[in-house]
C-alpha cells in the first residue's frame, strides 16, 4: 500500500504507540483521525491529524464514529480499553480479570464496525503484547487477552479477504503508561529487560514502524509481527 493520500483511523492515536503510529502515517502522507477517550490531553499531534473523542468499549459510539468518517483505508487500534489485572490467578479478583478483557471488546467493536467502511485493499492492525505467547509471573490476564486478540485476527482474516488484518505484538516498551521518572524509571526498565536478547526497553517509534510495515506490505495478513527485543526467546 502506498500510504500517501490514504485516510487512517487510529484508536488510541494520541499517546504512546498509537501516537507514534499517527505521526509516522502522517509523515508518509496519510490523513489521520486519532481517537482518544480524552482528546483534550492530546499534544504534539502532527499536521494532517485531528483528535476525536471515543471510548472503544462503547459499541454504538464506535459504530457511529466510523460511519461518520467513512470511507477509510487504514484502521489501527492501540487502545488499551481500560484497567488490566496483574497478579497470580489463584488470588485474582475475577471482576478485575473480566475487566481486562475490555481491550478485546474494544478491538472487537473497532473491527466489527470498521470492516464495512474499509476500502477493498485496506488494512487493519491491532496491538497485542508478548505475554500472549510468553506469560511471565502475574501476567495471566494479559496473556489471556493478548491470545484472544491474536486469535480474533487470524479468524477474521479468512472472512474479509482481500482486506487484510494483522497484529503487532510489542515487548516491554517505554511509554507514558509507566509513571516513574528519572533514575527510578531507568532502573525499572533495566531490571525487567536485563535478560532480553536486546537488553533495553523498546520505543513507541519502533513499534509504530512495525504497524506501518503491516499496512504497507500487501502480502501479509492474519499474522502477528513481534517487535519485542527477543523477549520470546529469553
Model confidence pLDDT, tens digit, residues 85-95:
999 999 999 99
Residue 233 lies in a domain: no
Please report, for the domain that includes residue 114, its CATH number.
3.40.50.720
For residue 81, what pLDDT is reported? 74
For residue 119, what pLDDT is reported? 98
For the residues 140-153, what does the mean pLDDT come to?
96
Lowest mean pLDDT among 42-46, 131-135, 201-205: 42-46
Residue 22 lies in a domain: yes
Lowest mean pLDDT among 58-72, 84-98, 111-125, 167-181: 167-181
Domain ranges, residue 208: 7-227
For residue 129, what pLDDT is reported? 94
Residue 140 lies in a domain: yes
For the residues 99-122, what does the mean pLDDT come to?
96
Task: Tell me which DSSP letter residue 45 carries.
Answer: P
Is residue 11 within 8 Å of residue 81, measured between CB atoms? no
Q: How far apart are CA 177 and CA 201, in angstroms?
A: 13
How sure is the predictor about 138, in pLDDT bands with cuts at 50, 70 and 90? very high
How sure is the predictor about 195, in pLDDT bands with cuts at 50, 70 and 90? confident
231 in helix, strand or coil?
helix
Q: From residue 76, how far is each of 119, 128, 167, 226 by CA, in Å? A: 14, 12, 10, 16
Higher pLDDT, 62 or 174: 62
CA dihedral 230, 107, 103, 32 (to 10 degrees): 80
pLDDT higher than threshold 80 for residue 82: no
Residue 232 lies in a domain: no
Residue 234 lies in a domain: no
Q: How far apart are CA 194 and CA 230, in angstroms?
A: 12
Number of domains comprising the chain? 1
Residue 178 lies in a domain: yes
> How much of the chain, in percent, has pLDDT values that exceed 70?
99
Residue 146 lies in a domain: yes
pLDDT higher than threshold 80 for residue 60: yes
* Residue spans of alpha helices (H) in the chain: 16-27, 59-68, 94-100, 102-114, 140-160, 182-193, 204-216
Q: How far apart are CA 129 and CA 173, in angstroms?
A: 10
For residue 181, what pLDDT is reported? 84
- For residue 124, give the nearest of 108, 105, 144, 100 by alpha carbon: 108
C-alpha cell at 106: 474494544
Give the bridge partners for 165, in sequence order: 124
How sure is the predictor about 147, in pLDDT bands with cuts at 50, 70 and 90? very high
For the residues 131-155, what does the mean pLDDT come to?
95
Mean pLDDT of the chain, nearest integer: 94
Packed helices 140-160 and 102-114: angle between N→C axes, nearest 10 degrees: 10
Residue 105 lies in a domain: yes
What is the pTM (predicted TM-score) of this model? 0.94
C-alpha cell at 119: 476500502
How sure is the predictor about 178, in pLDDT bands with cuts at 50, 70 and 90? confident
How sure is the predictor about 184, in pLDDT bands with cuts at 50, 70 and 90? confident
Largest separation between any pair of C-alpha atoms in the chain: 51
Amino acid at each position: 500500500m502506498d500510504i500517501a493520500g490514504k485516510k487512517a483511523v487510529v484508536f488510541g492515536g494520541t499517546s504512546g504507540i498509537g501516537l507514534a503510529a499517527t505521526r509516522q502515517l502522517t509523515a508518509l502522507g496519510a490523513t489521520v483521525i486519532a481517537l482518544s477517550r480524552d482528546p483534550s490531553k492530546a499534544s504534539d499531534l502532527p499536521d494532517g491529524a485531528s483528535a476525536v473523542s471515543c471510548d472503544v468499549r462503547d459499541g454504538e459510539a464506535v459504530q457511529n464514529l466510523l460511519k461518520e468518517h467513512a470511507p477509510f483505508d487504514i484502521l489501527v487500534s492501540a487502545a488499551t480499553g481500560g484497567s488490566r489485572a496483574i497478579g497470580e490467578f489463584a488470588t485474582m479478583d475475577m471482576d478485575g480479570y473480566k475487566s481486562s478483557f475490555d481491550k478485546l471488546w474494544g478491538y472487537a467493536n473497532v473491527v466489527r464496525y470498521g470492516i464495512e467502511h474499509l476500502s477493498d485493499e485496506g488494512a487493519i492492525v491491532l496491538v497485542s503484547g508478548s505475554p500472549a505467547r510468553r506469560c511471565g509471573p502475574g501476567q495471566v490476564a494479559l496473556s489471556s487477552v493478548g491470545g484472544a486478540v491474536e486469535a480474533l485476527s487470524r479468524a477474521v482474516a479468512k472472512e474479509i479477504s482481500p482486506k487484510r488484518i494483522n497484529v503487532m505484538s510489542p515487548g516491554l516498551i517505554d511509554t507514558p503508561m509507566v509513571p516513574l521518572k528519572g533514575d527510578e524509571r531507568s532502573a525499572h526498565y533495566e531490571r525487567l529487560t536485563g535478560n532480553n536478547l536486546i537488553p533495553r526497553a523498546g520505543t513507541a517509534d519502533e513499534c509504530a514502524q512495525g504497524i506501518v510495515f503491516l499496512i504497507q506490505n500487501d502480502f501479509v495478513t492474519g499474522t502477528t509481527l513481534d517487535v519485542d527485543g527477543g523477549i520470546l526467546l529469553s
